[in-house]
């Protein structure tokens, strides 16, 4: 393919050439149809949604870019919606998850400089992006080793290990960056015990809590933000992926107590908060907060989990674990992961593997029982031969 000749090889691409997406299905140029249980790695959370596309195309009739020296109605309305549904404060818009990580990191650094707190903690096996700052936050050596030395002052605790966190927090600790569910790390949710420990340490040492909701946010984990599944509220929330409805859009939601740390000239992003992306984002936000949508999604998420639980019980020799929250699930299948993924493609279902041994189930939030039955039947057919 022409792709292989001219695009830098940083991904192991599937041998599929996309023609179009309609609903929850991807159609290729050779006329084949695939159920998308990949959703652009949790970006196409509504699949191909006509209302979102219309909002984008209507906006393009007015303009595509105006720079951040001018206000834009959709950008302002999206920021308002984010604040009113999370933590009171302000929003900084970015283009991606890595940019959101970088913006949050700069804010934490500047805040720490003023009070002598220089240490930032993140979890082992975490993933916060691939730019150099975000890479320092990412707790996976396989991504870091060829690009060291990275920025100093970042240390990594064992995820969900209260003793590990306690041993590392002290009066020099400025912030803790945390994923409510580790996605790249194997779809591992936070435990309630760990969150209780974190809350006590946060109060004792006045830590900044940064929640990385780049993959988990915007209903992926049932609630609007995944942290709502726990009795805790962050100081900063990082967003991206599904926020723009398929266009590049990210954000950092900054609590009121920190909203004045970053001022004019401290940070910026030429395309951050692009008007077309924000118009799409506003349409996404309205849809995922619709009461009927939320009820339907919960019903289908429960159905999906129950069907997978039955498969795990029947094929316990293949499926070692089922974990996750709502529409973000992981199936631990060991060395069979890539085999299952490749066979599923031939059966018309697109799946994602993370951590080498985990099938990550992140379908569009719009999947219904028919879509789920198709996936489950294909999955059952494959694992029954392993």
* Closest to 340 measured CA to CA, from 297, 384, 285, 286: 384
Domain ranges for the chain, please list them.
Answer: 2-48+291-383, 51-288
Is the whole model's pTM more than 0.85, yes or no?
Answer: yes
2-48+291-383 maps to which CATH number? 3.90.1150.10
Output the six-digit token pair for 40: 């652009």
Q: In this predicted model, what pLDDT tens digit does every residue of 62-109 receive, in sequence order?
A: 999 999 999 999 999 999 999 999 999 999 999 999 999 999 999 999
Q: In this predicted model, what pLDDT tens digit does every residue of 192-228 receive, in sequence order?
A: 999 999 999 999 999 999 999 999 999 999 999 999 9
Q: In this predicted model, what pLDDT tens digit does every residue of 147-185 receive, in sequence order?
A: 999 999 999 999 999 999 999 999 999 999 999 999 999
Residue 1 in this model has a pLDDT that exceeds 80: no
Q: What is the pLDDT of residue 319?
A: 98
Q: Which CATH number fits domain 51-288: 3.40.190.10, 3.60.70.12, 3.40.640.10, 1.10.10.10?
A: 3.40.640.10
CA–CA separation, 226 and 103 (whole Å): 21
Under a CB-based contact definition with an 8 Å cutoff, are residues 46 and 284 in contact?
yes
Under a CB-based contact definition with an 8 Å cutoff, are residues 208 and 229 in contact?
no
Under a CB-based contact definition with an 8 Å cutoff, are residues 359 and 333 in contact?
yes
Q: Is the dihedral of CA 24, 28, 34, 40 positive or negative?
A: negative
Mean model confidence pLDDT for the chain: 97
CA–CA separation, 241 and 12 (whole Å): 20
């Amino acid at each position: 393919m022409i792709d292989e000749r001219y695009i830098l090889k940083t991904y192991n691409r599937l041998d599929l050439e996309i023609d179009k997406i309609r609903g929850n299905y991807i159609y290729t140029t050779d006329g084949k149809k695939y159920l998308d249980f990949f959703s652009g790695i949790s970006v196409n959370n509504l699949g191909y949604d006509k209302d979102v596309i219309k909002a984008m195309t209507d906006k393009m009739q007015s303009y595509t870019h105006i720079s951040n020296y001018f206000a834009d109605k959709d950008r302002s309305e999206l920021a308002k919606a984010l604040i009113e549904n999370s933590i009171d404060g302000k929003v900084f818009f970015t283009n991606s998850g890595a940019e959101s990580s970088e913006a949050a990191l700069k804010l934490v650094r500047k805040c720490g400089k003023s009070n002598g707190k220089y240490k930032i903690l993140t979890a082992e096996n975490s993933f916060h992006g691939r730019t150099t700052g975000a890479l320092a936050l990412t707790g996976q050596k396989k991504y870091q080793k060829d690009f060291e030395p990275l920025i100093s002052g970042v240390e990594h605790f064992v995820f969900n290990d209260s003793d590990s966190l306690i041993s590392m927090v002290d009066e020099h600790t400025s912030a803790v960056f945390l994923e409510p569910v580790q996605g790249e790390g194997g779809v591992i949710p936070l435990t309630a015990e760990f969150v209780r420990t974190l809350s006590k340490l946060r109060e004792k040492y006045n830590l900044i809590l940064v929640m990385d909701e780049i993959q988990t946010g915007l209903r992926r984990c049932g609630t609007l933000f995944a942290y709502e599944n726990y009795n805790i509220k962050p100081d900063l929330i990082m967003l991206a992926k599904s926020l723009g409805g398929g266009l590049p859009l990210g954000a950092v939601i900054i609590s009121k107590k920190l909203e004045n740390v970053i001022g004019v000239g401290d940070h910026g992003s030429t395309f951050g908060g692009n008007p077309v992306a924000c118009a799409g984002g506003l349409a996404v936000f309205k849809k995922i907060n619709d009461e009927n949508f939320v009820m339907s999604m919960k019903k289908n998420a429960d159905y999906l989990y129950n069907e997978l639980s039955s498969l795990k019980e029947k094929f316990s020799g293949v499926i070692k674990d089922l974990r996750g929250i709502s529409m973000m699930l992981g199936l631990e299948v060991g060395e069979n992961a890539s085999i299952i993924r490749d066979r599923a493609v031939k059966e018309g279902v697109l799946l994602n593997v993370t951590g080498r041994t985990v099938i990550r189930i992140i379908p569009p939030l719009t999947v219904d029982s028919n879509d789920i039955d198709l996936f489950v039947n294909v999955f059952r057919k494959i694992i029954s031969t392993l």
